C-alpha cells in the first residue's frame, strides 16, 4: 500500500488487489476505508441467474470512495420501512465488498471480521448506515462487508440455474477476502464471519458447505439458526411469480423479463409470506453443489466445521419486530388461549413447556407467550441444540435484553445491531432503538465481539449444555451497561 497526495491536500490510501489498484479514503483516527470494490462480475444478462463470475481487471486506479450499487430488491412495507433503513443505490455492479482497516499495509496480519447482512434473503445491503465498520477498525480489526443477490435472483429455485446463488456470491466474497485481505493489513488465517437474521442463517449454511471450508476460522450467528427450506416451498414462489408474469417458471424466461417487472411480481408474492407462520418464501435449500444436507443436522453430527468456535444468540423479544408494528400483538391477544395453543402446536411444544414459560413470565399476555414459543422454535431451540452438540470447539450463548425506546418493540429482532457495531450515534440507529440508548452497553457488547474475533473467547464461559445464556442489557443496568437484576431464564 502507498498513500498519494490528493487534490484536497490529504493523503489517500491505495491498495493493489488481484484485479487492480483501489484508492480509498482516510477514516476516523487514521483508519482507511475502501468502498464498492468488485468481487464478482455484474450479475446481468446471461449472468443474472448464473454462478458468480470473476470481476474484470482494470487499469489505473479505481476510486473506492462510495458504496457500490445495492442488489435489486423490493422495499419494506411502510410499517417496517420506518424502523429498518434500507438504502437503494442504483447500478448493475452490485457484487462488491467494503473494507475498513486500521493499517492498510501488507504484513500487518490483523484479525478480520466479515459481516453478512440480514433482510429475510430479500432485502438489506452493506450500505445500511448502522453497519459502518469504523469502530471495528478503531479497535484493531479489519472489517469487511459485502452485497449479494437477493430474492428471486439469489434464491429462486429453477430447473435451469444453480441453486443458492446468494450463497455462492457469499462464498465468492469470502474467497476474495482470502486472496486480497492481506494487502489491506488483514490476516486471511484469522477471519471471523458474523451475521444477523438471514445473514446468520447463511453462516449456518457456510459452516456446513464443503465449498466454504477453510474460508473462515470463527463464526457469530445473531438471531438466525442454520436452516434450509423445503424445495417445494421455494419453488412455489417462482411459480407464483411466473403466473403473474405469464412466463415459464425457468431462469431462461426470467432472464429476458424486465428487471422492474421481476421486482413487481416478487413484491406481490412476498406479501403472502412471513417469518413466524411459514408459507412460501425465498431461502436456502439443500443442493449437492452448495448445501448437501440440512446444515443443522450436519453441524450437530460434527460432520463439518467442528473446529470453528461459535458465538450464538438472540434478543429477548425477537417476535415483537414482526408482530408489534403490524397489529399482530393485538390480534393474538384477542385470540387469547387459542393463540397460545396454535403457537404451541407450531413450535412442537408440550403443555409442560407452556406451564414453565408462564412460570418464568407470570405477567405475559397471550401474544407474548405465543411469540416466545415461536421464538423458541425459530431460534432458541436450534441454537441451543447447535451449541450443545459441539465438542471440538467451544460455543458461547448470549441474549440481548435491553428494551427499545420505541413503544411496543421491547428487545426485538435486530435491536442489538447498533450495539454490536457501536453505531448508536448514527441517526438511523434511533429508528429501531429510540432515544437515550446506553452507550455503555454498546461499549461492552462491541468489545465482546472484538475479543471473540481476536482470541476466540468473548469473555464469558462456554455453554455446557445447561443454564442461562450471557445476558446483555435489561431494565437495570450497571455502570458497564450490563444487567444487574436478571429475570428468570426462559425454559
| Catalytic-role residue among 413, 416, 428, 482 | 413
| Catalytic-role residue among 318, 368, 428, 482 | 318
* Residue 318 among the catalytic residues: yes
Sheet with 310-315: list strands edge to edge: 25-26, 32-38, 96-101, 142-146, 110-116, 186-196, 218-222, 310-315, 395-400, 470-472
* Residue 227 among the catalytic residues: no
Instruction: Give the C-alpha separation, 214 to 297, whole Å.
Output: 20
* Residue 197 among the catalytic residues: yes
The residue with cell 405465543 is 370
Q: Give the three cell numbers for residue 3.
A: 498513500
Instruction: Give the C-alpha separation, 457 to 218, whole Å.
Output: 10
Cα angle for residues 329, 345, 280 (degrees, 5° grid): 75
Rg (alpha carbons) of the chain, rounded to whole number = 22
Neighbours of 41 (CB within 10 A): 18
| Catalytic-role residue among 125, 134, 197, 411 | 197
Q: Which positions are catalytic?
A: 197, 318, 413
Amino acid at each position: 500500500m502507498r498513500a498519494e497526495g490528493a487534490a484536497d491536500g490529504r493523503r489517500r490510501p491505495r491498495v493493489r488487489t488481484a484485479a487492480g489498484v483501489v484508492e480509498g479514503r482516510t477514516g476516523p483516527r487514521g483508519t482507511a476505508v475502501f468502498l464498492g470494490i468488485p468481487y464478482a462480475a455484474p450479475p446481468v444478462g446471461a449472468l443474472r441467474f448464473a454462478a458468480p463470475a470473476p470481476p474484470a481487471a482494470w487499469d489505473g486506479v479505481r476510486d473506492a470512495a462510495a458504496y457500490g450499487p445495492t442488489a435489486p430488491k423490493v422495499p419494506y412495507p411502510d410499517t417496517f420501512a420506518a424502523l429498518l433503513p434500507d438504502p437503494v443505490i442504483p447500478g448493475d455492479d452490485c457484487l462488491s465488498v467494503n473494507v475498513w482497516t486500521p493499517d492498510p499495509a501488507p504484513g500487518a496480519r490483523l484479525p478480520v471480521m466479515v459481516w453478512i447482512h440480514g433482510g429475510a434473503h430479500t432485502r438489506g445491503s452493506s450500505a445500511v448506515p448502522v453497519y459502518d465498520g469504523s469502530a471495528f477498525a478503531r479497535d484493531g480489526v479489519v472489517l469487511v462487508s459485502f452485497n449479494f443477490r437477493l430474492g428471486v435472483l439469489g434464491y429462486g429455485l429453477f430447473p435451469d440455474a444453480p441453486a443458492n446463488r446468494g450463497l455462492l456470491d457469499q462464498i465468492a466474497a469470502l474467497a476474495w477476502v482470502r486472496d486480497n485481505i492481506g494487502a489491506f493489513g488483514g490476516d486471511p488465517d484469522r477471519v471471523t464471519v458474523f451475521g444477523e437474521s438471514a445473514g446468520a442463517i447463511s453462516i449456518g449454511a457456510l459452516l456446513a458447505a464443503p465449498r466454504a471450508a477453510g474460508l473462515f476460522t470463527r463464526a457469530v450467528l445473531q438471531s438466525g439458526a442454520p436452516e434450509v427450506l423445503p424445495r417445494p416451498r421455494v419453488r412455489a414462489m417462482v411459480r407464483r411469480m411466473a403466473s403473474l408474469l405469464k412466463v415459464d417458471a425457468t431462469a431462461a424466461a426470467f432472464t429476458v423479463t424486465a428487471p422492474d417487472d421481476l421486482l413487481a411480481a416478487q413484491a406481490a408474492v412476498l406479501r403472502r409470506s412471513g417469518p413466524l407462520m411459514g408459507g412460501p418464501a425465498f431461502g436456502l435449500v439443500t443442493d449437492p453443489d452448495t448445501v448437501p444436507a440440512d446444515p443443522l443436522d450436519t453441524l450437530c453430527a460434527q460432520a463439518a466445521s467442528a473446529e470453528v468456535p461459535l458465538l450464538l444468540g438472540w434478543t429477548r423479544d425477537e417476535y415483537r419486530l414482526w408482530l408489534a408494528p403490524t397489529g399482530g400483538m393485538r390480534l393474538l391477544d384477542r385470540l387469547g388461549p387459542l393463540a397460545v395453543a396454535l403457537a404451541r402446536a407450531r413450535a412442537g411444544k408440550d403443555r409442560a413447556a407452556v406451564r414453565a414459560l408462564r412460570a418464568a413470565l407470570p405477567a405475559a399476555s397471550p401474544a407474548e407467550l405465543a411469540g416466545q414459543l415461536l421464538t423458541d422454535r425459530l431460534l432458541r431451540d436450534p441454537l441451543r441444540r447447535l451449541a450443545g452438540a459441539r465438542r471440538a470447539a467451544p460455543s458461547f450463548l448470549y441474549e440481548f435484553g435491553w428494551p427499545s425506546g420505541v413503544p411496543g418493540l421491547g428487545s426485538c429482532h435486530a435491536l442489538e445491531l447498533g450495539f454490536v457495531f457501536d453505531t448508536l450515534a448514527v441517526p438511523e440507529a434511533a429508528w429501531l432503538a429510540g432515544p437515550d440508548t446506553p452507550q455503555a452497553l454498546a461499549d461492552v457488547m462491541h468489545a465482546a465481539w472484538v475479543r471473540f474475533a481476536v482470541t476466540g473467547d468473548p469473555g464469558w464461559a462456554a455453554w455446557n449444555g445447561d443454564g442461562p445464556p450471557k445476558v446483555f442489557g435489561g431494565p437495570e443496568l450497571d455502570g458497564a451497561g450490563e444487567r444487574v437484576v436478571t429475570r428468570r431464564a426462559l425454559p
